[in-house]
């Protein structure tokens, strides 16, 4: 979801199915509900600590590093709405396997959130987790400004999200599917998400601050929306330039 926590060296691979090597990447094919899809995902090493969050919105210099196990911007699976998971399929080996792979990719990246389309699977599933260790890599002033607190792993199937207040905030975000870049995005500060957990039970999460931002970012993925579709365009930059001043006329970071 947003920013880097710390630089990562080696990377893990993960995949949906055996794939045929391409130049620096591979193609996987699978199906859900009778529909087949093909997705290109990178195999190169590297990664950034928080496919979605950390520091002012970024962190260490990692531009152009590729997060293994994730498909990248331009792949159709990231730009089309995902399909709902039938309640009766939640406990199936296929869906549980997708969830396990998502958690593995998110943690190996490492990141704080991931949506199923990011591993090439067009299903409405998100996972998110923010730990005290991840948060410790961000400057204290940014942690306070972002209202960032640790929370345990959440797996949400068929999430439905709504804002619960009119409060918003602007901060930098990044994405494991758009490696090496950041941009400012305005998000609601308070949301409620309902859906199913990985056991098929109904669940509801009320969140604020940074956790609310992660939930919005991940739910956007399920609609085929990337953060760059919502960004303040003139703030878009490579990670190395994250700390440079915002252009004249851009909104200031923080709550509004």
User: Which residues are tagged catalytic?
Assistant: 218
Q: How many residues would you count in the chain? A: 256
Alpha-carbon distances, residue 53 vs 8, 81, 197 (angstroms)? 15, 24, 23
Contact 254, 169 (CB under 8 A): yes
Q: CB count, 10 Å around CB of 136?
A: 12
Q: Where are the alpha helices (DSSP H) in 63-163?
A: 93-108, 132-136, 140-146
Beta-strand (E) ranges in the chain?
20-22, 25-32, 35-42, 113-115, 125-130, 151-163, 168-173, 181-188, 190-196, 202-208, 237-238, 254-255
Q: With the C-alpha atoms ordered 99, 101, 103, 109, is the resulting torsion angle positive or negative? A: negative
40, β-bridge pairs: 27
Tokens 């804002």, located at residue: 163
Neighbour-count burial of 246, counting CB atoms closer than 10 A to its CB (0-12 exposed, 13-18 middle, 19+ buried): middle
30, β-bridge pairs: 37
């Amino acid at each position: 979801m947003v920013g880097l926590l710390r630089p990562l060296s080696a990377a893990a691979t993960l995949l949906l199915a055996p794939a045929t090597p391409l130049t620096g990447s591979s193609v996987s094919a699978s199906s859900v509900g009778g529909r087949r899809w093909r997705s290109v995902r990178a195999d190169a090493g590297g990664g950034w600590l928080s496919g979605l969050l950390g520091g002012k919105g970024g962190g260490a210099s990692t531009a152009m590093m590729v997060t293994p196990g994730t498909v990248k911007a331009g792949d159709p699976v990231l730009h089309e709405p995902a399909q709902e998971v039938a309640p009766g399929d939640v406990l199936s080996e296929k869906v549980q396997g997708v969830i396990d792979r998502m958690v593995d990719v998110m943690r190996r990246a490492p990141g704080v959130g991931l949506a199923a389309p990011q591993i090439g699977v067009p299903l409405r599933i998100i996972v998110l987790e923010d730990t005290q260790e991840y948060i410790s890599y961000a400057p204290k002033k940014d942690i306070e400004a972002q209202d960032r607190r640790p929370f345990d792993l959440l797996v949400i199937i068929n999430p439905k999200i709504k804002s619960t207040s009119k409060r918003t905030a602007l901060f930098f975000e990044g994405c494991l599917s758009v490696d090496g870049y950041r941009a400012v995005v305005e998000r609601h500060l308070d949301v409620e998400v309902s859906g199913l957990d990985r056991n098929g039970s109904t669940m509801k999460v009320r969140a604020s601050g940074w956790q609310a931002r992660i939930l919005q970012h991940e739910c956007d993925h399920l609609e085929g929306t990337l953060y760059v579709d919502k960004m303040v365009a003139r703030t878009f930059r490579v990670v190395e330039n994250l700390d440079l001043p915002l252009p004249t006329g851009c909104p200031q970071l923080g709550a509004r």
